[in-house]
A and B are shown apart, each in its own frame.
Chain A
Amino acid sequence: MIRYIETPFSEEESLSVLNKFARSWFTKNFKELTPPQRYSFKLIGQKKSLLVTAPTGSGKTMSGFLSIISRLFDYSIEGKLESKVYCLYISPLRALNNDIQRNLTRPLEEIYAMIKKEKGTDVIKENIKQVTIGVRTGDTTQKERAAMLKHPPNILVTTPESLAILLNSSKFVENMKSIEYVIIDEIHELANNKRGVHLSLSIERLADITEKKFTRIGLGATLYPIEEAAKYLVGYDEGKPNDCTVVDASWSKKFDVLTFSPVKDVIHSSDRRIEELMYKELNRIITKSKTTLIFTNTRSGTERVVFNLKRRFKYGEDIAAHHGSLSRESRLEVEEMLKKGALKCAVTSTSLELGVDIGSVDYVVQLGSPKSVTRAIQRVGRAGHSYNETAKGEVIALNRDDLVECTVMLHSALEHRLDSFVVPQNALDVLAQHIVGMALVKKWDVDEAYELIKRVYAYKDLERGDFMSLINYLAGNYVGLESRRVYGKIWYDEKEKVFGKRGKYTKVIYMLNLGTIPDEVAVNVMMASNKKKWVGNIEEEFLMKLKPGDVFALGGHLYRFEYSRAMKCYVSEANAASPTIPPWFSEQLPLSYELANYIGEFRLGLFNLLEEEMKAGNALKGKMPKAIEKFLDGFPMDENAKAAIYNYFVEQILFTKYIPNRDMLIIEGTNDISSDKYYLIFHSLFGRRVNDTLSRAFAIKMGEAIGEDIGVMVSDNGFMLVFDEKPRIGYERISKIIKDLYTEPLEDMLKSNIRNTELMKRRFRHAAARGFMILRNYKGWKIGVSRQQINSQLILKAVEEMDINFPILKETYREILNDVMDLPRAKEVLERIKKKDLKWDLINTPLPSPFAHNLMTFGHADVIMMKDRRRYLKQLHKMVMKRIDESG
């Protein structure tokens, strides 16, 4: 059962579970217990499984470890401490592992010193040993490993991948049977992805071999729904979650945040003016704070901001950039300088969001929306070093959609309304790996293995059929008998229902290829007309978003995507066109479903108030009505932002009489001012992943209806279908299509749509590598990503025709539909329409309404195109205002 605990234990009660040495060490070093410690000392002392979420700087590490250290010294004093592992600590970050070792070495040494001082020579007589700690990661040398095997540390610090390797080292496993505690740190980084799923399978495999049932401790930053994370941590038993106590100390830190707009009128102020005021604000903050941390969302943005701050305000080495494209050394240097307090300001894309301790930051600035409430809290939470300080920060937004989004986001953060995460369910590729790992250790009865796997939260609903199809795949049953020797990774006896290891290379293959993070390299962009002409690089993630015909900018030129081969992308010049995908699209995180819903609520609230004002005959232009001012004052933003948002909504309602909102989906049919194209704009506010799903479904159905291909553009605030000319599609037709969408099997429709996409080809490679259909490393030879891609495409071709339910293929579709897109929630949205809980309407506008402007210019949203984009936007806006004025 998952149980919440909200009343902390008293200090005496908490400390009473520690032995006198640990207790006196703690009181000597700390003035008081932090909020998480007030729960954790006692509960871990009682060997209760526990999930603790708390902000950085709240003594999380100590809250997890101190009771354990105390217990291990008890063993030592009793002369029972053996050279075995008692506590396993796992974190996804290698860097963090070294920090942990460093941070624990001091208490271990100091407590031991206290014992020695008291016991004197008895220490030797009674064989009172030091409690030891050791780190084991991919960086650990062969020599260190051998030493560790001989003298295993009592506390073993490791990563998910190294744990999987250790589970298959027959000798080391003996040292792990004594484990009594398992700590999973940074659980928010693991619970929502395949790496975390992989880890949780390892944990259940470990639980299967330890002598005692171990206590599980999860540590992490805030996340929601927290009970999902708890279930992920403790696993299931016979269909029910195991016992876990949840301590949510995330809110011990207070927040002081607001949305800032450099100007009142975002549309008519010049770019230069906006930029100037933005940097002025940044400089004001940096000057008045000791250390400022700025988040920019993209790497290019990070560089630009650092460059501008230095140029405009003569900063020197006291401002530094930190992002994923920089070398490890320069990143470490920036982290070190932050810790020492030697920087005035650090600018980062996302890389300083979590993890490593960065010392005291007193103000956090977020440029543009971080797209999720949880992320906003994590980032702003970087400010204020200790848990009882207030985290101060602001979000600077430069367009009207962003202003609304950020304001609602911060409001939700203050209200503790977070966006949710999902543990990927039944990932067959990850499971394939572990079945191989399990088979290498011993012979398994099929039922016994199935039961074990179902103890993992991510597989609690695993269907027997899927499990058996994996066993059959791994046994090589899809090829003839004589080839199983090569294809089979496990041996399976169908009569006895027993499986085990097969082949002398399987163990090598397993050890060299395990893990879930796909190999990636940059994709070379070449001209299709002259295959030797290289024009630049793009990230593979970006290639996955491209469909043939898409136009994107690279190095100041525009190119049309034609096709790809392995890790090469072939393009042609696209002179006259404008980009259909901005270059940061793959880097920019998608707007979350929950935040989109909160924005929908905000829109609904404001819409109702505006309608009331109109009914009362009050003019909306000019001064803001009192009721609306009061409403907006309930949201954290400055005066400029308030005015900008108000005007935005007024323009929309005057132009269309509607504000698309949580309960009303507006579909707008309109023309562009610069071309003959016709647009159907869906003001669908359900997050980008849902929009991605819905837009494909609508495009397929519309395409069928009019018999031609339709262009699609997806963004956070909606999606649009682009037609060469106005189609014969009216209310009736759309109504029919919507009905089809909630009656027909959406999943099959989408599958056939994504079958030939880049997304499919690339994701299949990832799944095939995870499921050992292609190897990344073969007998010590690294296989290049290019080769992997070509090979996996051959496999895809063969597998598709063989069996559409082949486990690795099935998993690829599952991953795309559920993890990349959001099919379940897209269905929810359609269900809401069916139940008339979500209404919809079609409106026709002579030109795009204000809420559509950002979507219309979306393709232009790119650094080099910024000027054009704003010019276009202004032009649109001017025309809308003219219409409003004309209609009175």
Chain B
Amino acid sequence: MELIKDIELLEGLPIIYIKSLKAIVCSDLHLGYEGVMAKRGVYLPKSNLKRIMKMVEEALNKTKATTIIVDGDIKNEFSEVDQDEFNELYDFIQFLKGKHITTVLIKGNHDNFVDKYKAPFNLTIYEQEAKLGKYLFFHGEEQPKETSKAKMLIMGHEHPSIGVYNSVGTKEKIKCFLYGKYDGVPILVLPAMNYFASGTDINLQPESELLSPVFKHVDVDGMRAIAVGYGSTIDFGKISQLRKLAAQGTA
């Protein structure tokens, strides 16, 4: 689905393609998630990295990308990089290298200590935000700074999804992009790549419950939710509409 002329939302994937940058963009991979959980006594079977590689591969096949921009939280643990994270990070970067893809990383709140790997992995890392081409990339746990000159702001962090009820009344969460305005500048919120992060159901939460301070400058109800799942990408319209439906219990 074409968001604007330069940006394509790749069908069925939580990944976008920016033609002018020849880059695919995604966010919130949280590599090493299962390993971290296992150390807390929760033995999640590993599936996150495998799925992420599959999605990235599909995105690369569909586009002419030479670069991948990860908009924050490539790994999971706040503190040091643990062994499991390192292994997954390594596998992921090797996988990209094998495809001759350059990796650009915007640091997120989970990405402390990632600098250690800058040299060995040959990564390009931006601390807070990065203006690449016409776009300002930032993770989203803090307000963006150089917003005025950007054509569009692109962030992650929030793990947006929408809550949908099926005919028997079971609630299901579907990941989505959010598209709206930040103080008049277009803003795109990326869904999480992480398999286990089903996300915040934006249409069922009051605005005050949202994670990112960025939304203080955004009319959330006026944002469009573009859902990704079951192999397709579908525009569900404005959050305000979805809220109404949810209140009637038939969304």
Partner-B contacts on A (CB < 8 A): 478-480, 482-483, 486-487, 509, 529, 547-549, 562-563, 572, 709, 756, 772-775, 778-779, 783, 791, 794-795, 797-799, 801-802, 806
Contact A798 B195 (CB under 8 A): yes
Which of B45, B165, B195 contacts A795 (CB under 8 A)?
B45
Do A794 and B87 form a contact, CB below 8 Å, given A549-B168, A774-B42? no
Contact A783 B44 (CB under 8 A): no
Judge if B43 is at the interface, Cβ distance under 8 Å.
Answer: yes
Which residue of A is nearest B46, CB measured?
A: A479
Q: B residues within 8 A CB of A549?
A: 168-169
Q: How far is the CA of A209 from the CA of B40 in the complex (A)?
A: 34
Judge if B213 is at the interface, Cβ distance under 8 Å.
Answer: no
Q: How far is the CA of A799 from the CA of B46 in the complex (A)?
A: 9
Minimum distance in angstroms from A887 CB to a CB of chain B: 41
Minimum distance in angstroms from A607 CB to a CB of chain B: 39
Q: A residues within 8 A CB of B84?
A: 482-483, 486
Minimum distance in angstroms from B105 CB to a CB of chain A: 23
- Mask, B16-41, CB within 8 Å of A = 1, is 00000000000000000011011111
- Beyond A483-B87, A509-B41, A562-B169, 18 additional contacts (C-beta under 8 Å) are A478-B45, A480-B46, A483-B34, A486-B35, A486-B39, A487-B43, A549-B168, A709-B167, A774-B42, A778-B41, A783-B41, A794-B37, A794-B196, A795-B42, A797-B196, A798-B44, A798-B196, A801-B47
Which of B34, B41, B167, B247 contacts A774 (CB under 8 A)?
B41
Q: How far is the CA of A572 from the CA of B165 in the complex (A)?
A: 14
Contact A486 B38 (CB under 8 A): yes
Interfacial residues of chain B within 78-100, with CB under 8 A of chain A in the complex? 83-84, 87
Q: How far is the CA of A783 from the CA of B38 in the complex (A)?
A: 13
Which residue of A is nearest B51, CB measured?
A: A801
Which residue of B is nearest A486, CB measured?
A: B38
Contact A802 B249 (CB under 8 A): no
Q: B residues within 8 A CB of A806?
A: 45
Q: A residues within 8 A CB of B87?
A: 482-483
Contact A483 B38 (CB under 8 A): yes
Q: A residues within 8 A CB of B196?
A: 794, 797-798
Chain B binding surface, main DSSP class:
loop
Which residue of B is nearest A529, CB measured?
A: B247
Minimum distance in angstroms from B91 CB to a CB of chain A: 9
Which of A509, A529, A795 contacts B44 (CB under 8 A)?
A795
Q: How far is the CA of A562 from the CA of B42 in the complex (A)?
A: 28
Contact A802 B44 (CB under 8 A): no
Q: B residues within 8 A CB of A487?
A: 38, 43
Minimum distance in angstroms from A744 CB to a CB of chain B: 22
Q: B residues within 8 A CB of A772?
A: 43
Judge if B61 is at the interface, Cβ distance under 8 Å.
Answer: no
Judge if B62 is at the interface, Cβ distance under 8 Å.
Answer: no
Q: A residues within 8 A CB of B170?
A: 548, 563, 756
Q: How far is the CA of A425 from the CA of B167 in the complex (A)?
A: 36
Judge if B171 is at the interface, Cβ distance under 8 Å.
Answer: yes
Partner-A contacts on B (CB < 8 A): 34-35, 37-47, 83-84, 87, 165, 167-171, 195-196, 247, 249
Q: How far is the CA of A773 from the CA of B38 in the complex (A)?
A: 9
Which residue of A is nearest B205, CB measured?
A: A531
Contact B45 A798 (CB under 8 A): yes
Contact B168 A791 (CB under 8 A): no
Q: How far is the CA of A806 from the CA of B43 in the complex (A)?
A: 13
Q: How far is the CA of A479 from the CA of B32 in the complex (A)?
A: 13
Which residue of B is nearest A772, CB measured?
A: B43
9 pairs from A and B in contact (CB 8 Å cutoff): A478-B45, A483-B38, A548-B169, A779-B41, A798-B44, A798-B195, A801-B47, A802-B45, A802-B47
Q: B residues within 8 A CB of A562?
A: 169, 171, 249
Minimum distance in angstroms from A835 CB to a CB of chain B: 35
Q: How far is the CA of A795 from the CA of B44 in the complex (A)?
A: 5
Q: A residues within 8 A CB of B169?
A: 547-549, 562-563
Do A773 and B195 form a contact, CB below 8 Å, given A547-B168, A572-B249, A709-B167? no
Q: A residues within 8 A CB of B42?
A: 773-775, 791, 794-795
Minimum distance in angstroms from B248 CB to a CB of chain A: 10
Q: How far is the CA of A798 from the CA of B195 in the complex (A)?
A: 9
Q: How far is the CA of A799 from the CA of B42 in the complex (A)?
A: 13
Specify which of A774, A798, A801 lies most central, judged by the most chain B CB atoms within 10 Å of its CB: A798
Which residue of A is nearest B83, CB measured?
A: A482
Q: B residues within 8 A CB of A795?
A: 42-45
Q: How far is the CA of A775 from the CA of B43 in the complex (A)?
A: 9
Specify which of B38, B41, B169, B196 lies most central, judged by the most chain A CB atoms within 10 Å of its CB: B41
Q: How far is the CA of A802 from the CA of B48 in the complex (A)?
A: 12
Specify which of A783, A794, A801 lies most central, judged by the most chain B CB atoms within 10 Å of its CB: A794
Minimum distance in angstroms from A528 CB to a CB of chain B: 8
Q: B residues within 8 A CB of A783?
A: 41
Q: How far is the CA of A563 from the CA of B166 in the complex (A)?
A: 12
Q: A residues within 8 A CB of B38?
A: 483, 486-487
Minimum distance in angstroms from A821 CB to a CB of chain B: 19
Contact B41 A709 (CB under 8 A): no
Minimum distance in angstroms from B62 CB to a CB of chain A: 23
Q: B residues within 8 A CB of A529?
A: 247
Contact A483 B47 (CB under 8 A): no
Specify which of A482, A529, A778 lies most central, judged by the most chain B CB atoms within 10 Å of its CB: A482
Closest 4 CB pairs of A and B: A548-B169, A775-B41, A778-B41, A563-B171
Contact B47 A774 (CB under 8 A): no
Minimum distance in angstroms from A483 CB to a CB of chain B: 6
Contact A483 B35 (CB under 8 A): yes
Which residue of A is nearest B33, CB measured?
A: A794
Minimum distance in angstroms from A703 CB to a CB of chain B: 10
Q: How far is the CA of A795 from the CA of B41 in the complex (A)?
A: 12
Contact B40 A479 (CB under 8 A): no
Q: How far is the CA of A486 from the CA of B83 in the complex (A)?
A: 11
Minimum distance in angstroms from A569 CB to a CB of chain B: 12
Which of B37, B45, B171, B247 contacts A791 (CB under 8 A)?
B37
Q: B residues within 8 A CB of A802?
A: 45, 47
Contact A774 B45 (CB under 8 A): no
Q: How far is the CA of A481 from the CA of B123 in the complex (A)?
A: 27
Contact B44 A778 (CB under 8 A): no
Q: How far is the CA of A549 from the CA of B249 in the complex (A)?
A: 10
Q: How far is the CA of A774 from the CA of B40 in the complex (A)?
A: 9
Contact A799 B45 (CB under 8 A): yes
Minimum distance in angstroms from A16 CB to a CB of chain B: 57
Q: How far is the CA of A779 from the CA of B34 in the complex (A)?
A: 18
Which of B35, B168, B247 contacts A548 (CB under 8 A)?
B168
Which residue of B is nearest A808, CB measured?
A: B43
Q: B residues within 8 A CB of A775?
A: 41-42
Q: How far is the CA of A783 from the CA of B43 in the complex (A)?
A: 14
Which residue of B is nearest A792, CB measured?
A: B42
Minimum distance in angstroms from A367 CB to a CB of chain B: 36
Contact B44 A794 (CB under 8 A): yes
Q: B residues within 8 A CB of A799?
A: 45
Minimum distance in angstroms from A294 CB to a CB of chain B: 41
Q: A residues within 8 A CB of B44?
A: 791, 794-795, 798
Q: A residues within 8 A CB of B45?
A: 478-479, 795, 798-799, 802, 806
Q: A residues within 8 A CB of B83?
A: 482
Contact A483 B46 (CB under 8 A): yes
Contact A773 B43 (CB under 8 A): yes
Q: B residues within 8 A CB of A483?
A: 34-35, 38, 46, 84, 87
Which residue of B is nearest A779, CB measured?
A: B41
Q: B residues within 8 A CB of A709?
A: 167-168
Which residue of B is nearest A482, CB measured?
A: B87
Which residue of A is nearest B171, CB measured?
A: A563
Which residue of A is nearest B87, CB measured?
A: A482
Q: How far is the CA of A194 from the CA of B196 in the complex (A)?
A: 31
Which residue of B is nearest A775, CB measured?
A: B41
Which residue of B is nearest A480, CB measured?
A: B46
Q: How far is the CA of A503 from the CA of B37 in the complex (A)?
A: 17
Minimum distance in angstroms from B180 CB to a CB of chain A: 24
Q: How far is the CA of A791 from the CA of B39 in the complex (A)?
A: 13
Which residue of A is nearest B39, CB measured?
A: A486
Q: How far is the CA of A797 from the CA of B45 in the complex (A)?
A: 10
